Structure 1
Amino acid sequence: MKLKYTAAWVGLTAAAMVTATACGSEGAKTAAQTADKAVDKADTIMAALTRATDRTEELGSAEVRTTTELGTGEPIAMDGTYSWGDGYALDVEMDTEAAQLQELTDSPTVRTLFVDGAYYYDIDPQPAGPLEGKEWMKIDGSAVFGESGAATMAGGGGEGSPADSMKGLKYASDVDDLGKETVNGKPATHYRAVLDEQDLGKFKEVFKGDDSMLNSATGEGSITMEIWVGAKDLPVRLKQDFGAMTVTMDFDKWGATKDIVAPPADQVGDLTQEVKDAGLQQG
């Protein structure tokens, strides 16, 4: 099978992980100093975002509809379960054609897992090559985020999850309350934050590392995050703009989701090295 470096490949992998704008200790310290000097309105915003962060982290999982727009074609939709209670994992369905995986399956959607730092794609068994007779294609996160970025994403504390995005939002110094809105039929308060590179903390390697595929996709400078917080201090929608890429997550159900595990090893064909050799990793 000949792999191609396309925007869709960047999108289908990045869409699963670009929520990783967690704040590192240095950024948190700077933001805390800023918050100490803030007016009452800013303190009120930070308090609301702190409550939302704590609730998101506490529940540990959600049913999510995610859309990634790359500005190069049809947006890539991913619907399913995100889990971050014991490391970050997901189990979603993607549109096959939008993800440009139609050569690997006749199904209109592709089930995609992220478990223990690796992606798994549910494909049709191929007649030859590393995917011969295999039900799943595996690509390690290092082929997307680089070695350092992948180590960050595969951490045991739920790194890369919506909870970590909330932490980045909470610690950002530039945060606005945009008022009340209705999203997906739910009343919510709309907040917006701009995170500069120093706010990314340890996740800078994920976005800006020399060997990360997201380096070229996210562009330079700041990342804009918007969040709509609804009842019980829980997010209804999370939207992030990274250069030319926009990712929107709509939350439908919180907690009590299914466990996410990797497919049986004998059903998996590993294409990590082939992906790297094909030049999909920026270097």
Structure 2
Amino acid sequence: MKWTAGRGGLSLAVVAALAAVTACTSSPQPQEDADRTAAPASRPALLAAERATERAGSAAVRSSAVMGTTLSLDATGALGWGDGLTGTLTITYTGGTTAETMRELGITTMEARYLSDAYYARTGEAFAARTGGKHWIRYAYADLQGLGAGANFADQMRNITPDRSVRLLLDSDDVHTVGEETVDGRPATHYSGTVEIADVSDSALKEQLEQAGVTGETVDIWVDDRDLLVKKVEKGRTTAGEYRQTAHYSDYGTEVAVEPPAAADTADFTVLLEEQGGGSTP
């Protein structure tokens, strides 16, 4: 079962594409309130939003991301975070050099399934023809540590939650209330602030951002009357160029049920590398 994309070509393209989603939405564990530096006027509302979103446990997600000239994509689906990450995203690659690589492999849209120990990527018919008819690739979180995507990559993949932006704003001392607006037909309060990475209190999140070359972000969030995050926009710059990620959240508490694909239709990422002669992750 040989594949011809060049050593690691598909694996790195797929992982980079998913990393663009997770890097803008991954979430560390909550910090103690005393560690937070948000402006006093906004702190109570932000803390309420953080807690309500965490308690909800799941939501429908609709997002878009642009990472310089490397990648732009759209993603839709539903995610749960009550006990680790579970859920499904449909990811459409809309532009950038990574999307060009994916198109060469016959992939423009990909389904990703998140489970407790791994995520699964459905690569489509064109690539299945190169893998003995198998449509899915399994990426064990433990195996992703060797991809050069940062020491916390596996944690990023396991911890996608919509309150990450709230937690960033709680580390900012210039948060202000923009005003009341309507988002997806619902009234919401708009908060905005600039976050200096040097001020981020969570060490794992700080390391993740530093590895991406981020020094600061502009973060905007919209919170509804139930203290739930309904929209967020993050903007900044990394070593790969400017990035912008927008996400809309709805249907909090929605049921999230996900099953691994059939084993007979699944190829393991590390096995694909070995069969191509790579031996180990690049």
Kindly report the root-mean-square deviation, in angstroms, between the aligned alpha carbons of the 2 structures: 3.4
User: In the TM superposition, what is the alpha-carbon distance from 1:238 to its structure 2 partner?
Assistant: 1.1
Aligned to 1:252: 250
Q: Secondary structure at the match of 1:53?
A: helix
The offset of 1:46, in angstroms, is 1.0
Would you say the 8 A contact 2:60–2:254 is kept in 1?
no
Q: Is the 8 A contact 2:11 2:269 kept in 1?
A: no
2:58 and 2:82 in contact (8 A); partners too? yes
Equivalent residues of 1:89, 1:260 under 8 A apart: yes
What is aligned with 1:39?
none
Matches within 5 A, 1:67-106: 67-72=64-69, 75-95=72-92, 98=95, 99-100=99-100, 101-105=102-106
Structure 1 partner of 2:22: 16
Q: What is the identity, as a one-letter code, of the residue corresponding to 2:248?
A: D
- The answer to which structure has the higher helix fraction is 1
For 1:261 and 1:205, locate their aligned partners in 2 and report how far apart those are by CA, in whole Å.
32
Question: In 2, Cα distance between the equivalents of 1:95 and 1:143?
Answer: 26
Tell me: CA distance 1:205–1:89, structure 2 relative to 1, closer, same or farther (3 Å). farther
Mapped to 2, the partners of 1:136 and 1:188 lie a distance apart of 39
Aligned residue pairs: how many? 257
Partner amino acid for 2:264? D
> Partner of 1:182 in structure 2?
182
Q: SS at the partner of 1:168?
A: helix
The verdict on how the C-alpha distance between 1:45 and 1:147 changes in structure 2, with shifts beyond 3 A counting, is: closer
* Equivalent residue in structure 2 for 1:203, among 178, 201, 205: 205
The answer on 1:111 being equivalent to 2:117 is no
Residue segments in structure 2 that go unaligned for 5+ positions in a row: none
Q: Would the aligned equivalents of 1:116 and 1:154 in 2 still touch at CA under 8 Å?
A: no
- 1:229 equivalenced with 2:226 (yes/no): no
CA shift, 1:246, in A, is 0.9
Question: Are the equivalent residues in 2 in contact too, given 1:22–1:165 (CA < 8 A)?
Answer: no
Q: Partner amino acid for 2:109?
A: T
- Alpha-carbon deviation of 1:29? 4.4
Instruction: Name the aligned partner's letter for residue 95 of structure 1.
Output: T
Contact 1:80 1:92 in 2 (8 A): yes
Identity %: 26
Q: Unpaired runs of 5+ in structure 1?
A: 36-41, 210-214
TM-aligned CA deviation for residue 266 of structure 1 = 3.2
Q: What's the offset of the Cα at 1:188?
A: 1.2
Q: What is the TM-score when the length of structure 2 is the normalising length?
A: 0.75
Q: Name the residue aligned to 1:126.
A: 128
